[in-house]
Amino acid sequence: MCPCYEELLYDVPGSGGILGSPLILIQVTRLMCGGYIFALRLNHTMSDGPGVVQFINAISEMAQGLSVPSLLPIWQRELLNARNPPRITRIHHEYEEVTNTKGTLMAMDENNLVHRSFFFGLKEIRALRNRLPASLGACSTFEVLIAYVWRCRTIAFAVDPDEVVRISCLINMRGKRGFDLPPGYYGNAFVYPASITKAGMLCKNPLEYAIRLLKKAKAEMSQEYIKSVADLMVIKGRPSFTQPGNYLISDLTHAGFGEVDFGWGKPVYGGVARALSNISFCMRFRNSKGEEGNVIPICLPPPVMERFEQELKRMTKEAEPVRLIKSML
């Protein structure tokens, strides 16, 4: 989490809702060293991560003299409308209504959480890959990391072995065949299919078990699946994603936050400032030693965070322990 977060992006009263709230809040803070911090808060109904980067890039181009952005914004929300008539044709675990039958899927109090960021460099990633069998095939760094974090997080919560847990990975629809979203489309264009399993199976099996679940959910992603999501939104009245036992994580390593240039060079850090109780982000980061890697902010209750850190260290004992970052600035 960024230090002095509340000072760098003031929480304007009345801006926390969806209706009747500002669409965008921007604060620029000048630093004594001559640098500055550009902070932005966006109403998520307007845009997703790539859309935010498009907007910031437009600001940067105009700050450097362009009168019109090189990539014009496009609305065209009708491209992702539901079918007529709408019909749910796929299973959507991410929207299932579930009950906490065992009582161990902890509901977290947002006012009593610890925010920490963890750095995964080449050593940590190599240690995790060394645990994987050759039969698993090629795995992206993101798949390895989120499977690892999901497993450690579930262990830390001490979830009943028979509870069903989920992880939902946001998948960008841009470039997907059958939708042809035009360059400049800045609206929300993602789905987050859920991988599900019983907590006991996730915790007792090796890391490859979680990775296979993630790969399976990704393989099921199709044009029909995405259309089924749009239809589900209409049929079920735009439900929220499943809350109990669900962990959402978004890969922002290729979003472009770290490439924005207002005329003074690329940022020391570009990305999300903090995690939420059940939502994390994976972002590119260069630590104080100049090492390139990924940073994942995590938000957990204090005792769960302590167990989470212990599990992280246990699983990467072949290399340097996963490094906690006190500041992303």
Q: Which residues are catalytic?
A: 44, 261
Number of C-beta neighbours around residue 305 at 10 A: 18
Which phi and psi (to 5°) does residue 141 adopt? -60, -40
Q: Please tell me the distance from the alpha carbon of residue 150 to that of residue 220, in angstroms, as a whole number.
A: 20
Q: Do 53 and 73 contact (CB within 8 A), yes or no?
A: no
Q: State the CB neighbour count (10 A cutoff) for residue 234.
A: 16
DSSP SS3 for 38: strand
Q: Which 8-state DSSP code applies to residue 182? A: P
- Give 191's DSSP letter: E
Q: Are 167 and 150 in contact (CB under 8 A)?
A: yes
Which runs of consecutive H residues, i.e. helices, occur in 83-178? 122-129, 141-157
Three-state secondary structure call for residue 194: strand
Token pair listed for 148: 């690892």
AA letter at 76: Q
> How, if at all, do strands 323-325 and 114-120 pair?
antiparallel
> In whole angstroms, what is the distance from residue 154 CA to residue 150 CA?
6
